[in-house]
Amino acid sequence: MKKTKVLLLGAGFIADIHLESYQRFVSNAEVVGVYTRHAEKASAFAQKHGLAQSYDDLEKAIAESGCEVVDICLPNFLHHDAVLTAARHGKHIIIEKPFAMTLEEADAMLDVCAKADLKLMYAEELCFAPKYERVRQLVREGALGDLYHLRQCEKHSGPHSDWFYDVNLSGGGAMMDMGCHGIAWFRWMLGGRPKVRSVQAHMMTVMHKERTQGEDDSVVIVEFENGAIGVAENSWAKPGGMDDSVEVFGTEGVVYADLFRGNAAVTYSDKGYGYAMEKSGSTRGWTFTIFEEVFNQGYPQELQHFIECVREDKPPKVTGEDGRAVLEIMLAAYESAGTGRKVALPFSPKVEKPIDLWLNQKPS
């Protein structure tokens, strides 16, 4: 079987996850090389994972690697240029969250891929996580009746890389980093592309004031036109490892699901041990020892689907348009956190980065 050739852009935490997913689970794809801006980092990543090619020049990487798909796992501020470069070379694109820094960037990315008839696939793994997909199946079977309230929480003690704390590179804090997951999942649960009526948000910085201008704790309420609401709670200020959970309330039932603790062995150790779960600061005492972390979060299923879309010329379930819609909601959330008011959609602010809508309006 001829495998689809993938070029991986990035060599950080999420690139490791994508690489593991391809090598262990996606049998019809082959990662042929890696690109980062730093030659030593690219070489080290390639050596670690047995890749034949590493690059620190993006144009050269795309042109010479023989790839058919470019998988973008780069810092947020590099997404736009990476998509335009890949599209110019005629490559299909998988792009990690958040989609872009501004709506202008997002529109340019969508436009160039549409004109070149290229697939632009938005990597939102919560739409593929097996436990959360079981929840969605229950909803589609009518087990819960009509949905009126969804809640998604993702919380931990802070990101893996320092660039997340620099709002000029990331565009925002915890909400920009993780709120995109909950917002995308709400839309997925409610039928893919429901219209949003308004957005309301509260943000603050409580743990990382010395490291970032960005928010490290946020609550976002998304009101949909059918009357349902989605509440996304995101934090970089919660110690003790990752929390990722959902609650779905309907007129005839309710379901609760936890992505990590329900897939873990509850462990006690006086001395501690190696790896327990993502963002776990210590393994002494009681811990949740995770099992098949990458699979349970939906990364292999997501990437397998995207590769099939390229191989079989099928439309992806999660697209660049979905990424843009999530970005618009996040922009409205920053505006709401800054003004203290609900923000109606559509919302098209002109800003350099989303968090400016909060920083430029919040009390000093």
The CA distance from 110 to 332, in Å, is: 20
Q: Which two tokens stand for residue 19?
A: 């690489």
Tell me the angle at which helices 180-189 and 320-339 cross, rounded to the nearest 10 degrees.
120
Q: Which two tokens stand for residue 9?
A: 């852009």
pLDDT at 364: 60
Give me the amino acid identity at 290. I
Residues of the chain with pLDDT under 70: 362-364
pLDDT at 241: 84
Give me the amino acid identity at 103. L
pTM of the predicted model, to two decimals? 0.95
Q: Which two tokens stand for residue 161?
A: 């890389």
Q: Using one digit for the tens of pLDDT, what is the confidence trace for 109-143?
A: 999 999 999 999 999 999 999 999 999 999 999 99
All domains in the chain, ordered by first residue: 4-125+299-317 (3.40.50.720), 127-297+326-358 (3.30.360.10)
- Residues shown for the chain: 364
The CA distance from 312 to 344, in Å, is: 39
The CA distance from 63 to 211, in Å, is: 38
The CA distance from 103 to 343, in Å, is: 16
pLDDT at 117: 98
* E strand or H helix that includes residue 119: none
pLDDT at 36: 98
pLDDT at 363: 64
The CA distance from 105 to 87, in Å, is: 14
pLDDT at 278: 82
Query: Among candidates 236, 234, 246, 244, which has minimal Cα distance to 189?
Result: 246
pLDDT at 96: 98
Ordered DSSP codes for 255-322: EEEETTGGGEEEEEESS--S--STT----SEEEEEESSHHHHHTHHHHHHHHHHHHHHT---SSBHHH
- Evaluated on CA atoms 202, 204, 207, 213, the torsion sign reads positive
pLDDT at 266: 86
The CA distance from 44 to 16, in Å, is: 12
The CA distance from 328 to 301, in Å, is: 26
Q: Using one digit for the tens of pLDDT, what is the confidence trace for 258-273?
A: 998 888 888 889 999 9
Asked whether the bond before 346 is cis by omega within 30 degrees of 0, the reply is yes
